[in-house]
């Protein structure tokens, strides 16, 4: 029995037909019209109808960025999409002339579930996923179950406060973890270095055509892989923030595995090794407890599709 997973992103909506082993059999996509919730509903319904044609599909899982209600039906809040207490499941169901089980899930939760079921987390029962992108998303699996919380908004790890009165976050608070452990933080620090230390940042500026504002995360990774000292230092700083924050989460949840997803994973060991070192340095009771592994995500950009489909089927 197949399920369809739909991953609503800021620029595109990707969908796929997923079998019980997590394999994607067919894919399709549409553009995201972020300011028009009704247009997003239509795109999701159209993708379902297109992909379900001629297939035995039992469920539709929709992965969406934002706060999702505990009954997995309502988008309570979306920072980048026009959702405010929005009945997403009901609106999509009204556009589909099929009797199909529909589940709405937070996108990081969907990605985390995909890694747990079919990716790097297949051998554990307790896992933390970090999606390191524009912000810092998270998913938590405890005892083989996805943790959603009383109101569906658990695992928003990016908004754990790590620096009292630190950098102002988009959520309105100061010092949130994502202000220091995200792709945006990497770019911010890289551009600051390019502006204030142009000699040290010569390679970064060269890759950016000499324009500070065009320094990007991928260019930092490229320079670091070439051996550029500043770029290596910037990635090590990001890794240290990821590792130290993960140790704080470990004090509460004790995961066997921390999975790092998102574009920064392209840096490989240049990011992982500093993250592992910082994690161990900050781990409470080290030497008297097993130590979690820190690994890169394995499912790539398909994680949201696969996780959403599997959660809907479950």
User: Tens digits of per-residue pLDDT, 116-144?
Assistant: 999 999 999 999 999 999 899 999 999 99
Those residues whose C-beta lies under 8 Å from the C-beta of residue 288, and which sit 6 or more positions away, are none
- pTM of the predicted model as reported, rounded to 2 decimal places: 0.93
Distance CA 151, CA 173 (A): 21
Domains and CATH numbers, the chain: 2-113+302-313 (3.30.420.40), 124-297 (3.30.420.40)
pLDDT tens sequence across 2-33: 999 999 988 899 999 999 999 999 999 999 88
- Cα separation, 7 vs 77, in Å, equals 16
pLDDT tens track, the chain, 314 positions: 899 999 998 889 999 999 999 999 999 999 988 889 999 999 999 999 999 999 999 999 999 988 999 999 999 998 778 799 999 999 999 999 778 999 999 999 999 999 999 999 999 999 999 999 989 999 999 999 999 999 999 999 999 999 999 999 988 899 999 999 999 999 999 999 999 999 999 999 999 999 999 999 999 999 999 999 999 999 999 999 999 999 999 999 999 999 999 989 999 999 999 999 999 999 999 999 999 999 999 999 999 999 999 999 98
**Nearest partner of 13 among 67, 34, 246, judged by Cα:** 34
Q: How many CB atoms lie within 10 A of CB 170?
A: 15
């Amino acid at each position: 029995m197949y399920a369809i997973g739909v991953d609503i992103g800021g620029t595109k909506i990707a969908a796929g037909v997923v079998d019980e082993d997590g394999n994607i059999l067919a894919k399709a996509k549409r553009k995201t019209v972020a300011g028009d919730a009704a247009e997003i509903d239509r795109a999701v319904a159209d993708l379902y109808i297109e992909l379900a044609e001629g297939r035995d599909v039992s469920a539709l899982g929709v992965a969406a960025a934002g706060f999702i209600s505990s009954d997995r039906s309502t988008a309570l809040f979306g920072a980048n999409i026009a959702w405010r207490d929005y009945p997403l499941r009901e609106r999509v169901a009204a556009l589909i002339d099929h009797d199909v089980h529909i589940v709405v899930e937070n996108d990081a939760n969907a990605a985390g579930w995909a890694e747990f079921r079919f990716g790097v987390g297949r051998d554990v029962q307790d896992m933390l996923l970090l999606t390191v992108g524009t912000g810092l998303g998270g998913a938590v699996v405890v005892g083989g179950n996805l943790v959603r919380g009383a109101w569906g908004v658990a695992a928003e790890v990016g908004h754990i406060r790590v620096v009292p009165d630190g950098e102002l976050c988009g959520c309105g608070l100061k010092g949130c973890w994502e202000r220091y452990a995200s792709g945006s933080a990497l770019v911010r620090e890289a551009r600051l270095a390019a502006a204030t230390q142009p000699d040290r940042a010569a390679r970064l500026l060269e890759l950016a055509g000499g324009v500070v504002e065009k320094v990007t995360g991928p260019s930092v990774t490229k320079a670091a892989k070439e051996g550029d000292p500043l770029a290596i230092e910037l990635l090590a700083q990001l890794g240290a923030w990821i590792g130290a924050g993960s140790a704080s989460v470990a004090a509460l949840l004790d995961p066997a595995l921390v999975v790092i997803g998102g574009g920064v994973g392209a840096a490989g060991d240049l990011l992982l090794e500093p993250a592992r070192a910082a994690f161990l340095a900050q781990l409470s009771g080290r030497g008297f407890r097993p130590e979690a592994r820190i690994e890169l995500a394995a499912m790539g950009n398909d994680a949201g599709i696969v996780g959403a489909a599997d959660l809907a089927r479950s």
